[in-house]
Structure formats: C-alpha cells, structure tokens
Amino acid sequence: MKRVFPLFMISLAIFLCQCKQKETKMEQSSVIQFVQKANADSIIALLLMQSGESSKVRIEKGVNQVAALWTEKDGTVKDFEDFCLKNFLSGEDQRLKVFQHISGNFESLFGYSNNISLDLKRAMHLDIGEMFDIDQVFGAYEPTAHFNDDFFTNKIGFMVALNYPFYTLKEKESSGQQWSRQEWAYARLGDIFIARVPASITQRTADAATASENYISNYNIYMGNLIDDKGKTYFPKDMKLISHWNLRDELKANYNKGEEGLTKQKMIYEVMQRIISQEIPDSVINNAKLQWNPYTNKVLKDGKEVSASSEPDTRYEMLLNNFSAMKAVDQYTPMYPTFIQRSFDAGMELPQEQVEKLFTDLCSSSEVKQVGELISKRLGRPLQPFDIWYDGFKARSNMDQDKLDKQTRAKYPDVAAFEKDIPNILIKLGFKPEKAKEIASHITVDPARGSGHAWGAQRKGDKAHLRTRIAKTGMDYKGYNIACHELGHNVEQTISLYFVDNYEMAGVPNTAFTEAYAFTFQKHDLELLGIKDNDPNKEALAAIDNFWMSFEIMGVSLVDMAVWKWLYENPNATKGQLKEQVIKTAKEVWNQYYAGVFGTKDSPILAIYSHMIDNPLYLSNYPVGHLIDFQLDRFLKGKNFADESIRIYSAGRLIPQVWMKNAVGNEISIKPLIDATDEALKVVK
C-alpha cells in the first residue's frame, strides 16, 4: 500500500477545509444569522479607517471569515466586534513576527501528534508479533481530533483567520504566480481554519479509516492453497499475497513464463473476481489451513470438501462506513459540502471535473487501441481483462523472476540491510555523497505487516518511515520494487520538509506529486541492482509503459469517482446495494473504455483496488502522478536528476499548476504522453 501523509495534512482541519465551493443556505444560515453582515461591515469600516486602504483585501477577507465561523458559544456579537478590533495586525512587520511564532508552534504540534500516531499504530502497521483487538483501538485514536475545537475555543483559530485569511483555489490560480514565498506561506496558513468540525466527528472518520485499513492490511490469500479442478497447486506453499497489491504484482511477474504463467494469471483473476463479488469464502481469507478452488468456489480441508460461507459483503461495509463518516463532516464544511469536493478542490487542488476530463480524454484516445493491439501481438494471443497490468514494456519483464528474487534476498536479508544501503542508492541516482548521507539520515526502515507504505515526518528532527514487507528468507524482488517506490516517497518527504524555506510551505501540492517522484525511483530499481538496460528503444518503451499504466489506473479512478457520486445520490444504501452498484459501475466503465480494446465485455476487474476501500478517493493521485512523472522525466533528460529534484521539490506547497509551471514550464497535461506514445508506436514492435 502506498499510503502517503503529505506534510501539514496531518491536521484534519487541513484535510477537511482548504478552498471555497458552492454554499447552501441551510448549512450557512445558523452562522450567518448570528453575526449579521451589517456587524461585519461596521468592523471592516473601522479597521479600514485605522489601517488604510492598502489592507482592504485582507481586512474584508479576515473579518468576513471570522464572522462566518463565529457562533453564539464563542461570545456575543459585541465580543466578536471587540475581538476583531483588538486582534487585527495592521503592521506587516508585526504580522510577519506573529506568523513565525504560529508556524513554529504548529510544527511542534503537528510533528509530535504525528509521532504519537506512529507509535499508537505500530502494532497495526509493523510485523512485530501478534496483534490484539486493543491495538486497533489505540491505532484508531486520533491525536489531532480536538485540534479544531481547541483552537477555536482558545481563539487562535480566529486570530489566524482574521490576519491570514483564506484564498479560494481560483484566487490562488489567478494571483499565485505573482505572490512572494511569504505571501504563499500566509495563504497556506489561511487554509487551516475555515470550518469547525467537532472532535467527535473527526474521531469518527479516524475510526472508520482505521477499521478499513486494518481489514485491508490483513486481507491475505495463501496462494499455495489454491487448487484447480484436478486438485493441482501452482504457487509456492508459503506464498502469502495481500489483495490487491501483491496479487497484481504476482500476476505481472508471470508474463514471461509461458502456459504455466498464463494459468497462474487466470487463477489470480478468478480470485480477484471472487473478492469483488464477495463470493470468496470467508474462511479462506488469511487462513493457511484450508484449500480453495476459486473456479468452483469449493473449500477443502485435508483433501475433503467442507462447508464455507461467503464473505458477508465486508468489503463494501467498510466503504459504506467511510462514506457515512465523511458525510457526517459535510454539514460542518459549507465551503465545500461533500467529501468529493474536499478530496479534489481541497486535497488535490484540482477540480474533480478537470481530473475526470484528463482521464476520459486519454481513455478515449485512438492510441489506446493501438497499444492494445501491440500488446496482443507481443503476447501472441488475444488480450485478457487482466492484461490491463501487462508489464512487458519494462526491462524486468523479460528477466527470470527467481534470479531477481535470489539477488534481492542476498542483498537485503532484512530491513536493516536496506536502510544501510539507502545512501548508496541515492549516490547511484546522482546525489552527492554528503547530500545522500544527509537525506538518508532522515529515513528509517520498518518491517510492514501489510504491503508497505511511506509515512513522512512532520517536524524537523524526526524521521520519515519506510514500511516494507520482508519475509524471513529476505526481500524478494516484488518487495524490493515496492520498497524503491516507498523510498521515493521518503526522499520527497525529506526534501520537501528539510529543504523548504518555510514550514507552512513544506510538502507537495498534492499526493500525485509524491507519487510521481516515487514512480521515478521505482523505475530505476534494476539499475540500482547493477542491471543495465541497453535497449535502444528504452525511451519509446518507457513512454508506452507509462501510457498503459495511466490507462489502467484512470479507469479504476473513474469507477471510484462514479461510486462516490452514486453514494451521495443514495446516502441510505445498504452494503448489498453498494456492492451491486460498484460492480455495475466497474462493468460500465469497462464497456465504455476497455471492451473495444480487450474484446471482452462486462469485466468487473476495475473494482479490485483496495484503495477504494481503505483510502477513499485517493486513486486519482496515481494517474495524475503518472502524467507528472512523464513530464518531469522528459524535462530532466540530460540534467542532473538529484540537483533538479532538490530544486523542484523544495518549492513546497504551491498549487499544482503553478508548481508544474515552475518545475517544467507547463501545466499538467496528457498531450506530452499522447505525443510520445504516437512516436513510440512507430519504433516499438
């Protein structure tokens, strides 16, 4: 799992509230009726007389924002007026000094809260022994749950809103290119306090997220226990794969293994379909004692068939619980009253409609069918639905997986060996030895209970954590490949914390940008092992590979977005109804964009991704990350990767399109990838 916690997003206030959207009268009325517009206007007039017209924009924004947030429990209207007059910072010098104090204190608050979360989730996240029910309860505890309540009660939230007001995404887009770094930092501080979500609601979202994360982290399939109609097994007895990541990666690993590899791929596909439909026997999940035939759905113990019940739609119950928790937040975030808006306009700072159009335009392009025909030709057979994960454009696709496993296990027998090698990995990527050592000193490696993830530090002096799954026999190649991806996250997290000029600017515009950097590390994995790719067409192959990966994950994301839209239209749906809708949506997206390429209709495979269950609406970050990765890769060609990485990622939390213009000179677009794919198709056979 590539779970990433961007800097400053650790505060749920930031996660919940960052940009202005359509307001509803019902959701705003109680606040607006308490502090009337006339009261706010009178205070604005008084402050303008005191501070002058040069402060007009921030006076109007600040006072109106405080007025919208002020409730009866905060004091009378007179208290509101006195507060604004007393606490407005008219002088820029004083405003800067107060900002520096606030920023330093927030670094401590968010940094130590992040460390508490890390500690409380250790038993859930790390492979350190048996996990008990109490561990999940501790893991669900959210240290920042009362942050919003506390900081409005003590009035700090109002002080920030008054003096460092919020700017909408449109305002950031229109003015951001002209802002100084300090003005950007002020705007980022202004993103924090624009809604008041009760601690109980914040904790409810944390509980739902933790439960679904724990469910997914323990969703393992014992592959050596899978049998066909003849009772034959095809996978190693001790192979345990988490869904969907390891299942997908094992499927990818079997592209160069002839008929036996194809047989394994078909069996994995059957397993995936059973998971999606929830026909999978509940008793075979994370259970090494039973055999299972995914084709007939029969369960055996000691060679004899035993009765088994299907999983009781738990997968969709988890998704439904996340929806219910997020929807409970809606009434407290009138500036964008749905989780969809909070995820895109706030979290990604890219409108959902814009993201969806990027995806549908690429998925509808003529290049999709051309690449599909090329893959079919290379495979020597018609495409199967699972060929959305075709991996044959990478150098590793033609290599012996067993030999790669042997090499990585010998090199990395445990997590300590991988951590020790991080400076060498960075040097191979072009970082100077001193800089490589400095960055590596801020990263530690832990044994993951799940597939792995990267968890960044939120305070200078703390370390980023690379969590990766490693067997007793050492790190196999799939684990190594994932670890390289997570290391990319950690390096980005370190650069964008330690090398950024201002804490409020630390981080990246959204998680697609850290995914882009992680993809860059991941695709250098063989090179880091000393295996060179001398193929003269490697750039063309890389372009087609990026295109096909984007095509695959864009469809998955389209399903994710459509399901959330349906949930908002059907908020009282049961888990059974949700299951039916997810499968229906997956088939509809497949039929619209994929069936014509694959020659197969009604495949539900786009619904297999675990992110849909435990990381709602995160999936869009992957395809956007692929697009960013491709544009960055083209820009970095012929330049020093390490130096440019530091320059680009130390820009911090600009909005996405401003960040991209500063980084490579252009906004996020599918055109560079489409054009490169066209050219690549002329030379790749």
List beta partners, residue 468: 447, 452
Residue 27 has pLDDT above 50, yes or no: no
- pLDDT band (50, 70, 90) for residue 7: very low
pLDDT at 449: 87
Residue 535 is predicted with a pLDDT of 83
Cα separation, 536 vs 546, in Å, equals: 17
Say whether pLDDT at 685 is over 50. yes
Evaluate if residue 56 carries a pLDDT over 80: yes
Q: In a 3-state reduction of DSSP, which class is residue 222?
A: strand
Q: How far is CA 96 from the centre of its chain?
A: 33
Predicted confidence (pLDDT) at residue 2 exceeds the cutoff of 70: no
- Contact assessment for residue 356 and residue 569, using Cβ atoms and an 8 Å cutoff: no
To which H or E segment does residue 189 belong?
Answer: helix 181-190
Q: Do 381 and 259 meet the contact criterion of CB atoms below 8 Å apart?
A: no
Check pLDDT > 60 for residue 543: yes
CA–CA distance, 452 with 217 (Å, rounded to integer): 9
Per-residue pLDDT tens over the stretch 355-384: 999 999 999 999 999 999 999 999 999 999
User: Which 8-state DSSP code applies to residue 176?
Assistant: G
CA dihedral 278, 280, 281, 286 (to 10 degrees): -110
Residues 452 and 418: their CA atoms lie apart, in Å, by 14
Please compute the mean of the pLDDT values over residues 637-654 and round it to a whole number: 95
Confidence of residue 8 (pLDDT cuts 50, 70, 90): very low
> How many CA atoms does the CB half-sphere of 532 hold within 13 Å?
3
pLDDT at 602: 98
* 488-499: average pLDDT: 97
Provide the percentage of residues in the chain whose pLDDT is more than 90: 84
d(Cα 85, Cα 47) in Å, to the nearest integer? 7
Whether residue 23 is predicted with pLDDT greater than 60 in this model: the reply is no
The Cα 451–Cα 240 span in angstroms is 11
**259-296 pLDDT, tens digit each:** 999 999 999 999 999 999 999 999 999 999 999 999 99
The pLDDT of residue 92: 94
Q: Give the full edge-to-edge strand order of the sheet including 304-306.
A: 291-293, 298-301, 304-306
pLDDT at 28: 35
610 and 316 Cβ atoms separated by less than 8 Å? no
Q: Taken in order 625, 626, 627, 630, is the CA torsion positive or negative?
A: positive
Cβ atoms of 348 and 355 within 8 Å: the answer is yes
Give mean pLDDT, residues 603-629. Answer: 95
Does residue 453 or residue 438 have the better pLDDT?
438
What is d(CA 354, CA 359) in angstroms, rounded to the nearest whole number?
9
What pLDDT, on a 0 to 100 scale, did the predictor assign at position 335? 76
**pLDDT-derived band of residue 469, with 50, 70 and 90 as boundaries?**
confident
d(CA 519, CA 561): 23
Type of residue at 252: K
DSSP class of residue 285?
B
Amino acid 351: pLDDT:
92
Taking 70 as the threshold, does the pLDDT of residue 14 lie above it?
Answer: no
What pLDDT is stored for residue 33 in this prediction? 53
Work out the percent of the chain whose per-residue pLDDT is above 70. Answer: 95
Mean pLDDT of 555-567: 98
pLDDT one-digit tens code per residue, 655-680: 999 999 999 999 999 999 999 999 99
Task: Find, among 572, 574, 668, the residue nearest to 621 by Cα.
Answer: 668
DSSP codes of every residue in 110-149: HHHHHHHHHHHTHHHHB-SS---HHHHHHHH--TTTTHHH
Instruction: State the average pLDDT over residues 67-88.
Output: 95
Q: Tens digit of pLDDT for each residue in 178-204?
A: 999 999 999 999 999 988 888 899 889
DSSP 53-108: GGGHHHHHHHHHHHHHH--GGG--HHHHHHHHHHH----HHHHHHHHHHHHHHHHH
Query: Tokens in use for 535?
Result: 């193929």
Three-class secondary structure of residue 454 per DSSP = strand
Residue 451 has a pLDDT of 75
Across residues 386-406, what is the average pLDDT?
Answer: 87
CA–CA distance, 392 with 252 (Å, rounded to integer): 9
The dihedral of CA 557, 562, 566, 569: what is its sign? Answer: positive
Extract the tokens encoding 600: 């197969």
Kindly list the domain boundaries of the chain, sorted by start residue.
12-196, 215-315, 350-393+536-619+654-681, 400-528
Nearest alpha-carbon partner for 243 in 555, 610, 615: 610
Q: Which of 394-398, 423-427, 468-472, 542-546 has the lowest mean pLDDT?
A: 394-398
Determine the Cα–Cα distance for residues 77 and 75; give it in Å rounded to an integer. Answer: 7
* Confidence class for position 9, pLDDT limits 50, 70, 90: very low
Distance between CA atoms of residues 397 and 388, nearest Å: 15
Six-digit token string for 271 = 């397993």
Edge-first strand listing for the sheet containing 452-455: 443-447, 464-468, 452-455
Query: Is the pLDDT reported for residue 1 higher than 60?
Result: no
Q: Kindly tell me if the per-residue pLDDT of 632 is higher than 90.
A: yes
Say what the pLDDT of residue 29 is.
35
Token pair, residue 378, equals 């290379």
> How many residues are listed for the chain in this entry?
685
| Other residues' Cβ atoms within 10 Å of the Cβ of residue 426 | 24
Q: What is the mean pLDDT of the chain?
A: 92
pLDDT level of residue 452 (50, 70, 90 thresholds): confident
